[in-house]
Structure 1
Amino acid sequence: MKKQFFDVMIIGSGPAGLNAALVLGRARKKVMVIDEGRPRNAVTHKTHGFLTRDGISPAEFRRIAKEEISVYPSVSFEADTAVSIQGTDGHFEITTEKGNSFSGKKVLFAVGMKDQPLDIPGLHAVYGKSAFVCPYCDGWELRDEQLVIINKGAEVMHFAPVISGWSNRFTICTNGPDELTDAQREELQRHQVPVFDSPIQSIESHEGIVQQVVLEDGTIIPCRGIFFKPELVTGSDLPRDIGCHITETGMVVVDDFGKTSVQGVYSAGDATTRMHQAIAAASMGAIVAAGINNELNAEVWKQND
């Protein structure tokens, strides 16, 4: 059987990858979407802030998206993990964990980010239930509740005024040295924000709802919700393997249309930005897909001159 050759191979089927597949399918491009089906947001029960889909579960979001994309027969899905990539613009080849091989003209990495292991005892049990990373996604559900913010340094000074729009009843736990300046500590004191730098001994909860945070110095902080800064890495090493420029924080460097430093390779979604929201990722997927499509069409146009 003749091996299939695709216009675009998309690695990842989160909001960015799915919206890109939709746009490219409507542009009559032959697309393969490769994804293992283990999204980072699988720990959450609901996705928020996405117009017409507010409160939908990540699994249901993907089901509806794939159902809509299925109208466009040029888009295919493969439930697998891409493990290697080679080639150059016009002819890339991707090999998967199951031993499959796919070839295509362009590559779009929509690989997102993934969490490093959570090293605070008890945090895993509440993550996605009463402990979250983004107040724009989950702040409404914890409005006016007693919260614990686990963060330190300059990021605390950004996060504190942001979270105050949802609740002014919060305590900061830096889980070790606070990395704050004297001026920053004084600012938090003026706003009556307690700060504890003792390491966290455990997070105690019941059926996923946090009850209290226990520090190593014996301090007990009752709370009903947690916001914390996760340690993230790019969802796949393939962008680095193919030679894409990567920032010190692990993000893929792209231009306004998702072009990486490697000709023919694009990236979109959480792997390219710190704006980790489903609607932002979907928007970027659509924009990058249009850029890819324009490039493909221009190449064919020039061939026919």
Structure 2
Amino acid sequence: MTKQLLDVVIIGGGPAGLNAALVLGRARKNVAVIDEGRPRNAVTRETHGFLTRDGISPSEFRRMAKEEIGAYPSVSFVADTAVSIVGTDGRFQMETEQGQTFASKKVLFAVGMKDRPLDIPGLAEVYGKSAFVCPYCDGWELRDQPLVIINKGAELMHFAPLISGWTNRFTVCTNGPDELTDAEREELRQHQVPLFDSPIRHIDSSDGIVRQVVLEDGTTVPCRGIFFKPELVTGSELLRMIGCEITEWGAVVVDNLGKTNVPGVYSAGDAASRMHQAIAAASMGALAAAAINNELNTEAWGRNG
């Protein structure tokens, strides 16, 4: 049980939450970071595109971040899951799965997104090893390799030109109706991109490395890697519980400083953006933390004037 009214509770300890904790710790704010320790990127071996940390494992990234934040004693880490939230700006109260209670003036949700269960047989075995969702994160390692792209419709027509920067050896499997127009199918044909709309029966792999994608109609597509569109949900239902507005694709609606529609509640990282990269999440966390700190200081200034 926490008796002290904290300045900020950060829910989520990924790049967004950790960078926010660093900024707030340096701003001398009393902060608790509540994190369940089950990040979405735990399936991956390496984090890429983060200057000075390219190729670092997600677990090592978190370890180093916590070590750095340890220099600021007003920040504490709580290995637990927040399960409820009530209150209003100036005094929120959160309870955790283990029965702890925290009270804070402001709340930052850095809860990320979670994958819905993967419904293609064999995909879970290769996810994070040879099947990925972001070419900026993992495209370099699969450059010039034969790939399968599992996607459809408008998302596919955005992704096909994108992935072509890493390899021109890719086949599209839409796992059912392709949701394309005749003009879009012709565009793929002109770029010599094979297109199959038969449902996927399963993915063959060995030690996490994909060998081929097998379709229901008997077609087999040999490949060395896969990029697929994941089905995502917000990492915590507490955002809805407190009344935050959510977009149609499941992200929290925030302004450019991370403010939600609920006074005193902020969000940063993957939960509040479609730019799901570690460096982008960390940047959003830093900006939200600065906005929160400014709000806290302004309120204290007004009370003491």
Secondary structure of 1:250 counterpart: coil
| Structure 1 portions without partners, runs of 5+ | none
Tell me the TM-score normalized by structure 1.
0.99
SS of the residue aligned with 1:107?
strand
Q: CA deviation at 1:207?
A: 0.3
Residue by residue, what CA displacement relative to the aligned partner does 1:94-139 show, whole Å, maximum 9, x if unpaired?
0000000000100000000000000000000000000000000000
Aligned partners of 2:127 and 2:86: how far apart in 1? 37
1:1-305 aligned within 5 A: 3-305=3-305
> Contact between 2:151 and 2:172, CA under 8 Å: does it hold in 1?
yes
Residues 134-174 of structure 1: CA deviation (Å, up to 9, x unaligned): 00000000000000000000111100000000000000000
Structure 1 Cα separation of the partners of residues 51 and 177 of structure 2: 40
> Aligned to 1:85, what secondary structure does the other structure show?
strand
- C-alpha deviations, 1:267-289, integer Å up to 9, x for none? 00001111000000000000000
* Aligned-pair CA distance for 1:2: 7.3
Q: Is the 8 A contact 2:85 2:95 kept in 1?
A: yes
* CA positional deviation for 1:304: 1.2
Partners of 1:64 and 1:21 in 2: how far apart? 13
Structure 1 residue 248 displacement after superposition:
1.2
Look up the equivalent residue of 2:75 and give its one-letter code. Answer: V
Q: Name stretches of at least 5 consecutive residues in structure 2 with no aligned partner.
A: none
Deviation for aligned residue 1:4: 2.1
Tell me the secondary structure at the aligned position of residue 226 of structure 1.
Answer: strand
Question: Does the Cα contact within 8 Å between 2:176 and 2:199 map onto a contact in 1?
Answer: yes
Superposed CA deviations along residues 25-84 of structure 1, whole A, max 9, x for unmatched, are 000000000000000000000000000000000000000000000000000000000000
Q: 1:186 to 1:105 in 2, by over 3 A?
A: same
User: Which residue type is aligned with residue 143 of structure 2?
Assistant: R
The aligned amino acid for 2:255 is D
RMSD (Å), alpha carbons: 0.7
What residue identity is the alignment partner of 1:145? Q
What letter is aligned with 1:273?
Answer: S
Mapped partners of 1:2, 1:149: distance in 2 = 49
Kept in 1, the 8 Å contact 2:49–2:136? The answer is yes
CA contact (8 A) 2:27 2:293 kept: yes
Query: Is contact 2:203–2:212 with CA below 8 Å preserved after alignment?
Result: yes
Deviation, 1:92, is 0.2
Using the alignment, how far apart are the partners of 2:95 and 2:288 within structure 1?
Answer: 23
Structure 1: distance between partners of 2:79 and 2:304: 36
Letter of the 1:253 counterpart: V
Number of aligned positions between the proteins: 305
**Structure 1 runs (4+) greater than 3 angstroms displaced:** none
Tell me the SS of whatever aligns to 1:205.
strand
Q: Is the partner of 2:286 in helix, strand or coil? A: helix
Classify the secondary structure of the residue corresponding to 1:111.
Answer: coil
Q: Deviations over 1:184-207 (max 9, x none)?
A: 000000000000000000000000
Identity of aligned residues (%): 79
Q: Aligned partner of 1:82: which letter?
A: A
One-letter amino acid matched to 1:157: M
